Structures are given as structure tokens and as C-alpha cells.
Structure 1
Amino acid sequence: MHPYQATIPGLTVLTNFTTQELLDSDPELVADYAAAMSEALEFAQGNETP
């Protein structure tokens, strides 16, 4: 069971932050991280357990 989602459907339980310094110094890293997170979330949504 997913207690947070069961209590409040659609509740955001993952938030990521970065700094402007990292965005400026390594935008490719930030973009790659965002793409990897998006891929992981899509996988998770497509492979939910009952």
C-alpha cells in the first residue's frame, strides 16, 4: 500500500531542488538527471504493483 497516495490521491511525495550555480556550471548534468527521473517515473507508473 502507498499510504500517502491512499490518503491524498495525487499528493506529491518527491521534490528535487538544485542551485543556480549547478544549473549554470553543468546544465548537461541537470538535463540528464531530469531525463533519468522522467524515465524512472514512467517505468514506475507502467509497473505498479496491485
Structure 2
Amino acid sequence: LVNDTLAPARERYEALLNDPGQIEAVLQRGAERARAHSVPLLAQVREAVGIGAMR
């Protein structure tokens, strides 16, 4: 019963391990989405606390 329940997740896990490019693509998309949200927010925070652009 437990093996039957976990079989789909185990198969997906094994498929991902066999395709590291897919994992990298997902990580890259996540990083792009995070930057799209964090860059404007950090700019607002810097302006609010009086810190100029940090480069």
C-alpha cells in the first residue's frame, strides 16, 4: 500500500535525477522570477532608508 502510494513520486524523482538540465531550467526560471520581484522592492527599501544605489 505504501509503495503504491509513493510510486508516482518516486518515478518523478528518478526522472528528474536523470535530467539535470530540467532541474537547472526550473532553477533559472525561479531565479528570474525572484529577481523580478526583489529588485524593485530592494530599490524601494534603499530609497526609504536613504541608501543610494549600491554597485
**TM-score if structure 2 supplies the norm length?**
0.43
Choose between structure 1 and 2: higher helix proportion: 2
In our comparison, the structure showing a higher alpha carbon Rg is 2
